[in-house]
Amino acid sequence: MGIAVFAYSTMIGWAYYGEECIEYLFGIKARTPYRYIFCLVIALGAFQKVGFVWDFSDTMNGAMAIPNLIGLLGLSGVVVQVTRDALKQPDKLS
């Protein structure tokens, strides 16, 4: 029973996270198509072999690291500058 509750709450969390990302990228009107696609993918995943579903989800979770790493590289100069500024004023750190 516990794993079913965990799985269900995880799906709700990922649905919300995806909705917010879709809205940010494509606007509010993209939410409804996303919801339909999300529900369709859930239904299709329910009929797949478990190994395929795990492999696919692991691959997609790993693929999310790519844009995040690109963002980290792009913002690394900003982070270095902000860190240097903060370390020059140690009384404002606490």
pLDDT digit string, tens, across residues 59-78 = 998 998 999 999 999 999 99
User: CA–CA separation, 93 vs 86, rounded Å?
Assistant: 7
pLDDT digit string, tens, across residues 18-75 = 999 999 999 999 999 999 999 999 999 999 999 999 999 899 989 989 999 999 999 9
Q: Is the pLDDT of residue 88 over 90?
A: no
| Whole-prediction pTM | 0.66
Q: How confident is the model at residue 94 (pLDDT cuts 50, 70, 90)?
A: low
